[in-house]
């Protein structure tokens, strides 16, 4: 999650420098594709490393995880760069569990959490589509192209 990375990264910097460092790191997130985002990430990390070596090391370690969303179609990136849906789901599970208070056994917890997860799944399938199908087709495009290629069978001369 970009937000959690940014919080972690700014913990390596004095409070007075947070705005400047955050603006530098945000330049990475404005890039249109994975290649340019990776390039800008490394430039920013190298620039910041001179003053804050621990921040540079943090950026080196987090690069793959933080930029993973850039490998997906553009329309899905806003949904993938954050952990908000997961946090929202966890909050709903906690809200439902707090109502019960004390569970008689472990099976009852599993049933409640399972019911909440099934309910959320149904809601996402019927009411809102979190990600558009057209974008998902882009992810499968190389596989579709491979399937449509004619098979070339060569006969071995005997």
pLDDT in tens, 74-109: 666 566 555 667 778 888 888 888 888 888 888 988
Determine the Cα–Cα distance for residues 90 and 84; give it in Å rounded to an integer.
Answer: 10
Q: Does 45 share its domain with 87?
A: no
Whether residue 88 is found in the same domain as residue 134: yes
* 55 and 115 fall within a common domain: no
Q: Is residue 153 part of a domain?
A: no
- Please answer whether residues 55 and 41 qualify as being in contact, where contact means their C-beta atoms are separated by less than 8 angstroms: no
Instruction: Tell whether 155 is covered by a domain.
Output: no
Q: Is there a single domain that holds both residue 84 and residue 48?
A: no
Closest CA to 1 of 72, 77, 73, 91: 77
Residue written as token pair 């540079």:
56
Residues 89 and 131 in one domain: yes
Among candidate residues 30, 34, 52, 56, the one with its CA nearest the CA of residue 43: 56
What would you report as the CA-atom Rg of the chain, rounded to the nearest whole angstrom? 23
What pLDDT, on the 0 to 100 scale, is given for residue 142?
55
Residue 90 domain flag: yes
Residues 92 and 53 in one domain: no
The tally of CA atoms less than 13 A away on the side-chain side of residue 102 is 1
Quick: pLDDT tens for 23-34. Answer: 888 887 877 777
**Same domain, yes or no, for 101 and 40?**
no
Please check whether residue 46 lies inside any domain of the structure: yes
One domain, residues 118 and 57: no
**Stretch 3-22: mean pLDDT, rounded?**
86
Torsion of CA 140, 143, 148, 150, to 10 degrees: 170
Q: Comparing C-alpha atoms, which of 14, 16, 23 is closest to residue 54? A: 14
pLDDT above 90 as % of the chain: 4
Structural domain contains residue 129: yes
What range does the domain containing 121 cover? 78-139
**Pair (66, 83) in one structural domain:** no
Residues in the chain: 158
First to last CA, the chain: 60
Overall domain count for the chain: 2
Residue 149, domain member (yes or no): no
Residues 91 and 116 grouped into a single domain: yes
pLDDT at 52: 92
Predicted TM-score of the model (pTM)? 0.54
């Amino acid at each position: 999650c970009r937000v959690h990375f940014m919080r972690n990264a700014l913990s390596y910097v004095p409070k007075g420098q947070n705005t400047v460092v955050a603006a530098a790191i945000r330049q990475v997130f404005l890039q249109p594709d994975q290649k340019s985002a990776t390039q800008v990430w490394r430039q920013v990390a190298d620039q910041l490393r001179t003053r804050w070596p621990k921040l540079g090391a943090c950026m080196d370690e987090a690069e793959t995880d933080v930029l993973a969303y850039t490998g997906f179609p553009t329309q899905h990136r806003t949904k993938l760069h954050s952990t908000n849906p997961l946090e929202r789901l966890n909050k709903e599970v906690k809200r439902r569990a707090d109502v019960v208070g004390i569970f008689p056994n472990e099976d009852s917890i599993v049933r409640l959490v399972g019911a909440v997860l099934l309910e959320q799944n149904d809601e996402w399938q019927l009411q809102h589509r979190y990600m558009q199908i057209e974008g998902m087709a882009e992810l499968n495009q190389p596989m579709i192209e491979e399937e449509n290629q004619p098979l070339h069978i060569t006969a071995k001369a005997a």
